[in-house]
Amino acid sequence: MVSNRWEYLRGYIVIQVQGAGVERLINLALCRGIRLWDIARQPGDLVVMKTHPHSFRFLRPLVRQTSCRVRITHKGGIPFTIAHFRRRSTMVAGATLFVLMLYLATSFIWFVDVTAPEGLSLVKEEEIRERAARAGLRPGVWRNKVDVDHVKIQLEDQFPLLAWTGVEIHGTRARIQVVERVLIPPELDKRLPAHVVATRDGVVQEILVLMGEPVVTEGQTVQRGQVLISGAVSPQPPSVPKGTSPSQPTRYVRARGVVRARVWYEAVAEYPHSLVEEKPTGRKTSQWSIRLNYKEVILKKPRMSYQAYRVFEEFSYLPRWRNLPLTVELVKSTYHEVEMRTTEMGAAGAAEQAARVATERIMAELPEGAKVVDRQVQVVPSREGTTRVRVLVETLEDIGMVLPITPNR
């Protein structure tokens, strides 16, 4: 294998020798130090072999001496390749310029699309494009200079009527996805009849009715979705026997009130006794490759001897031309070296961290205005090398939610 590579670097030619004295020619050449290899006999008196270009001129006298005929059929190796490209310098320069222009073309954003699954009625598409351009996202901008998070923040601050904003960059195309808020006219919303229902399971502690009829009492256990204050007000007084038709029809109102209840939240978290963390060392290296559909050609391999590392990939896409199903990607893979550090937490430390994680999960679920009245932490069975805890938090909060109703249903 090494010899073949060396011969390729020096250059070689493939020759055909024909005649009755082929064996004598080979013996004479070897005696004079002329290197011949890959000798193969063909049908008849034809023999194919390889030799160096500078040895061919010493081989010609031996060909005449042995009454043979010789013909060069192929020239290979680095010297002939270089000579070939020297004669076609314009083609080489054009190919290099094409690759450079291709790389530059895929490094810019040429298309910015604005999409809305539900359509746009509150915000104009031109206004979104204009604001995105001010934030740095516009056709012709260098894609590495676009801060996607900054663009999202600017759009959300500028357009409060947008419920969600997403920005994605794929090759030379950027996509802005937006979803508008669903607004209910205030004058219509305030007149709709409604119940006050429970948003969570709990035990009622206090109930204050401003409008409507209370359906539950203090100390009663309620479930999520259960009616707490009814918007259907019956004109029938309590003294009227059941089954007797009231003199007036049921009146529907928009129930209002405050229903405070004791609510319990539970979360389970597990934490290891030994915590392995990755810490970047600051060293990094890159690999460049081209992906053509599902095939990948590595242009530059990374030089590294990292024991542990993390890989981040950046893609540059060549825009598709017409309907050709050909996907060309320029991929930059960056390898960041990391050090693996182990911190011994112990059972007590792991229990403390697990309780903290579980409590943070619960606190993230608490509604605004909820008051924590009790917190219990219990260690439960777990896998070896870990500690699992269950956290139970009791709160006092308003569990009422207005739910519009349709009369006579």
Is 363's pLDDT higher than 90?
yes
**Arithmetic mean of pLDDT, 375-380:** 93
**Arithmetic mean of pLDDT, 233-239:** 66
Which one, of 353, 145, 158, lies nearest residue 269 by Cα? 353
Average pLDDT, the chain: 84
Is 265's pLDDT higher than 80?
yes
3-state secondary structure the chain: CHHHHHHHHHCEEEEEEECCCHHHHHHHHHHCCCCCEEEEECCCCEEEEEECHHHHHHHHHHHHHCCCEEEEEEEECHHHHHHHHHHCHHHHHHHHHHHHHHHHHCCEECEEEEECCCCCCCCCHHHHHHHHHHCCCCCCEEHHHCCHHHHHHHHHHHCCCEEEEEEEEECCEEEEEEEECCCCCHHHHCCCCEEEEECCCEEEEEEEEEECEECCCCCCEECCCCEEEECEECCCCCCCCCCCCCCCCCEECECEEEEEEEEEEEEEEEEECEEEEEEEEEEEEEEEEEEECCEEEEEECCCCCCCCEEEEEEEEECCCCCCCCCCEEEEEEEEEEEEEEEEECHHHHHHHHHHHHHHHHHHHHCCCCCEEEEEEEEEECCCCCEEEEEEEEEEEEECEEEEECCCCC
Which of 103-112, 147-156, 362-371, 389-398 shows the lowest per-residue confidence on average (mean pLDDT)?
Answer: 103-112
pLDDT score of 408 = 60
CATH architecture of the region 108-180:
Roll (3.10)
* pTM reported for the whole predicted model: 0.45
Give CATH 3.10.20.310 domain extents, the chain. Answer: 108-180
Is 184's pLDDT higher than 70?
no
- Express each pLDDT in 266-313 by its tens digit: 999 999 988 888 888 888 999 888 887 667 888 888 888 888 889 988
CATH architecture of the region 2-82:
2-Layer Sandwich (3.30)
Which of 314-323, 344-353, 373-382 shows the lowest per-residue confidence on average (mean pLDDT)?
Answer: 314-323
Which of 98-102, 143-147, 250-254 shows the lowest per-residue confidence on average (mean pLDDT)?
Answer: 98-102
Which one, of 380, 379, 378, 376, lies nearest residue 393 by Cα? 376
- Express each pLDDT in 38-62 by its tens digit: 888 887 778 898 888 888 888 888 8
Q: Cα separation of 284 and 299, whole Å?
A: 18
pLDDT score of 329 = 79
Highest mean pLDDT among 196-210, 293-307, 328-342: 196-210
pLDDT score of 204 = 95
pLDDT score of 1 = 42
pLDDT score of 278 = 86
- Express each pLDDT in 16-34 by its tens digit: 888 888 888 888 888 888 8
Q: Cα separation of 205 and 209, whole Å?
A: 14
Is 323's pLDDT higher than 70?
no
pLDDT score of 246 = 54
pLDDT score of 387 = 92
Is 341's pLDDT higher than 60?
yes
Is 79's pLDDT higher than 60?
yes
Is 240's pLDDT higher than 70?
no
- Express each pLDDT in 153-173 by its tens digit: 888 888 888 888 989 988 888
Give CATH 3.30.70.260 domain extents, the chain. Answer: 2-82
pLDDT score of 263 = 95
Confidence of residue 218 (pLDDT cuts 50, 70, 90): very high
pLDDT score of 245 = 55
**Arithmetic mean of pLDDT, 119-130:** 86
**Arithmetic mean of pLDDT, 131-150:** 87
